[in-house]
Each structure stands twice: as structure tokens, then as C-alpha cells.
């Protein structure tokens, strides 16, 4: 599914704003923590044996009789990894969660590439990860979206995939994990930190996930799509209220876990149009500029 061209055009002028993830790869548009050859002068430092003599400042040497090296700001690319949950709970019913996650991933990938960052996708489920190639320039947008259009939806369990994802990412860059988070909310803090220098936990939820009054009332049998476990209940006003309190406590705990590990918690409803999310809500949070 391809996002509307008009929305892609508006997002071409937006940028992802990580809090701590550094630009550390290639040659890009983000100011890095590194210093070296470049275009924008940063500072002088005393010459040390082994320094490249081409970077000596002859004017400073002529004035002071001391050898100093000119250092410049180095601009790099931010490595951006977008992990998409394709476990069974994301695929139940009309697949709203999964479709919303894929479209959001496409838009965020477009923002990353338009901003000069590196991008790769991974689709996770059933104990395996399917990785895209590494996309590194804005001209790769169509290839990136083509890959996402063909991405598999394996079902199964997401949690088994994340240690392998952490080994691949090795704590670098910005990682966005798009999931309902129902079966992975208790991720160990060390694993969260290995999923990137910064993790954005994007929780995809339908309106029914937060307001069970939207479900049919009365006698229900609910089934866990990943374990097959079932529970029979009578959905009435009292049960709905207990569910709301429990669901809110779950979200509060997830936020505390993610933010306690240095990440960012970003709840997303499938009822919110993505152009509102990316052009209004997330800019207000400082996630996109």
C-alpha cells in the first residue's frame, strides 16, 4: 500500500528528532560528535605527531610560532531501523493493526531517507526476522517502499525475534519498534538498550483495545491468537470498567519501562489518520520537526 503522493511530498521536508541517538555513519546532513576534515570550521587544537600536515593552520603558525590543527564539523547519517511486528495478535480480525503499522513504517522510512539518513526495515514474527537491504539516499525511497509492499506477514510470536534483532543492531542508531506490545512489554532493560542507541516504542492500538464498550456486549469467548488460550466472560459495564483500568495500568507500566531504559513511548490509535499523527501530533511532541 503506497501512501498518498501529497502526504509524501509534505513529509519530505520533515526530519526525525532523536534525543540521544548519534549520527555515526557515512556522509550525511546531521552534525555528528566527530571532528575532522570538513567544510565548517569548528576549532583549533595543538598539533600532535602523526597529524595530517595538510590541516596545519599556516596563519596561526606565522602569528604565534605554534603549530595548530584546524578541525571541522563532520556531518553523518543517522542509522534508522524500523522493526514491524507481524505476530499473530497484529493480524487478527481485519488486520487493522498490521496495515496501520506498515503504512506508518512507509511514511517514517520516507522521512528518514528524505532527511539523508540510513534506513532498513525488518519484519518480525514466528521466531524469524526478514531484513530489507540498507537504503542510504533519498533516491532509494521507491525501492524501500517496494520492499515493504512485499514484506511477509508470518504471524507467530515477536518476542523470540528481538534478541536476534539486538545482535544485528548492536546498540546503534535510532530504532522504531511498531507493535501492539501485548506480549513484549516486559522486555529486559539491557535488551531495550541493545535495540538501538535510542528506542521508540510505538504501540499500535485499535479503538476497541482501549474501549471495550465498542465490542459486542453479553456472553463472549475471547481467544489469544498467539497461545490459543480462551476465556469466557459476560461483557457488561463492570467488566468494561475493569478492562479500562487494567489497560491503562498496562500502558503506564510500558511507558515507565521504556522511558526508564532511555527510550520513548509513543501510543498510536488506528482511528487517528496518519497525516494528523505525523504533521500535527508528533511534531507537537518534538518527535518530528
Q: Which residue has the higher pLDDT, 226 or 105?
A: 105
Please determine, for residue 127, whether its predicted confidence score (pLDDT) is greater than 80: no
pLDDT tens string 56-89: 677 776 778 788 766 666 677 799 999 999 988 8
Please determine, for residue 232, whether its predicted confidence score (pLDDT) is greater than 80: yes
For residue 72, report the phi and psi dihedrals to the nearest 5 degrees.
-125, 160
Q: How far apart are CA 174 and CA 164, in angstroms?
A: 17
pLDDT (0 to 100) of residue 153: 76
Whole-number Cα distances in Å, 281 to 268, 274, 275? 10, 10, 9
Q: Which residues contact 139 (CB under 8 A, 6 or more apart)?
A: none
Q: Report the percentage of the chain scoring pLDDT > 70.
A: 88
- Helix H or strand E segment including 195: none
Question: How does strand 40-46 pair with strand 68-77?
Answer: antiparallel
The DSSP secondary structure of 43-110, one letter per residue, reads EEEE--TTS-GGGB-HHHHHHHS--EEEEEEEEEEPEEEEEEE-SHHHHSTT-HHHHHHHHHHHHHHH
Confidence of residue 37 (pLDDT cuts 50, 70, 90): low
Confidence of residue 218 (pLDDT cuts 50, 70, 90): confident
Please determine, for residue 256, whether its predicted confidence score (pLDDT) is greater than 90: yes
Paired with 195 in beta bridges are: none
Please determine, for residue 51, whether its predicted confidence score (pLDDT) is greater than 80: no
pLDDT (0 to 100) of residue 157: 77
pLDDT tens string 6-29: 999 999 999 999 998 876 555 555
Confidence of residue 268 (pLDDT cuts 50, 70, 90): very high
Q: How far apart are CA 192 and CA 163, in angstroms?
A: 10
Q: Which residue has the higher pLDDT, 43 or 182?
A: 182
Calculate mean pLDDT across residues 184-203: 89
Domain annotation for the chain: domains and CATH numbers: 5-13+78-206+265-285 (3.40.50.410), 26-76 (no CATH)
Q: Which residues contact 107 (CB under 8 A, 6 or more apart)?
A: 3, 7, 8, 11, 274, 278
Please determine, for residue 231, whether its predicted confidence score (pLDDT) is greater than 90: no
Confidence of residue 135 (pLDDT cuts 50, 70, 90): very high
Contact in structure between 143 and 135 (CB atoms under 8 Å): yes
Mean of per-residue pLDDT scores for the chain:
86
pLDDT (0 to 100) of residue 211: 87
Q: Which residues contact 159 (CB under 8 A, 6 or more apart)?
A: 183, 184
pLDDT (0 to 100) of residue 195: 92
Amino acid at each position: 500500500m503506497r501512501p498518498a503522493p501529497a502526504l509524501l511530498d509534505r513529509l519530505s521536508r520533515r526530519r526525525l528528532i532523536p534525543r540521544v541517538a548519534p549520527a555515526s555513519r557515512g556522509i550525511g546532513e546531521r552534525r555528528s560528535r566527530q571532528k575532522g576534515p570538513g567544510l565548517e570550521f569548528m576549532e583549533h587544537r595543538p598539533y600532535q605527531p602523526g597529524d595530517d600536515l595538510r590541516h596545519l593552520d599556516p596563519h596561526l603558525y606565522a602569528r604565534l610560532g605554534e603549530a595548530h590543527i584546524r578541525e571541522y564539523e563532520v556531518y553523518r547519517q543517522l542509522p534508522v531501523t524500523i522493526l514491524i511486528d507481524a505476530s499473530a495478535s497484529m493480524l487478527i480480525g481485519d488486520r487493522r493493526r498490521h496495515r496501520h503499522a506498515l503504512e506508518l513504517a512507509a511514511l517514517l522510512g520516507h522521512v528518514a531517507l528524505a532527511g539523508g539518513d540510513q534506513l532498513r526495515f525488518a519484519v518480525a514474527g514466528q521466531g524469524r526476522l526478514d531484513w530489507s537491504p540498507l537504503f542510504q539516499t533519498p533516491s532509494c525511497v521507491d525501492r524501500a517502499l517496494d520492499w515493504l509492499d512485499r514484506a511477509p506477514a508470518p504471524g507467530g510470536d515477536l518476542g523470540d525475534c528481538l534478541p536476534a534483532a539486538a545482535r544485528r543492531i548492536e546498540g546503534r542508531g535510532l530504532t522504531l519498534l511498531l507493535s501492539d506490545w501485548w506480549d513484549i512489554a516486559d522486555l529486559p532493560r539491557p535488551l531495550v538498550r541493545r535495540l538501538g542507541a535510542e528506542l521508540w516504542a510505538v504501540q499500535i492500538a485499535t479503538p476497541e483495545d482501549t474501549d471495550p464498550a465498542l465490542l459486542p456486549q453479553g456472553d463472549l469467548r475471547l481467544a489469544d491468537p498467539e497461545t490459543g488460550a480462551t476465556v469466557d466472560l459476560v461483557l457488561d459495564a463492570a467488566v468494561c470498567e475493569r478492562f479500562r483500568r487494567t489497560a491503562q495500568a498496562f500502558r503506564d507500566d510500558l511507558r515507565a519501562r521504556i522511558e526508564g531504559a532511555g527510550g520513548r513511548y509513543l501510543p498510536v490509535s488506528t482511528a487517528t489518520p496518519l497525516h494528523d499523527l505525523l504533521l500535527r501530533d508528533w511534531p507537537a511532541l518534538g518527535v518530528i520537526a
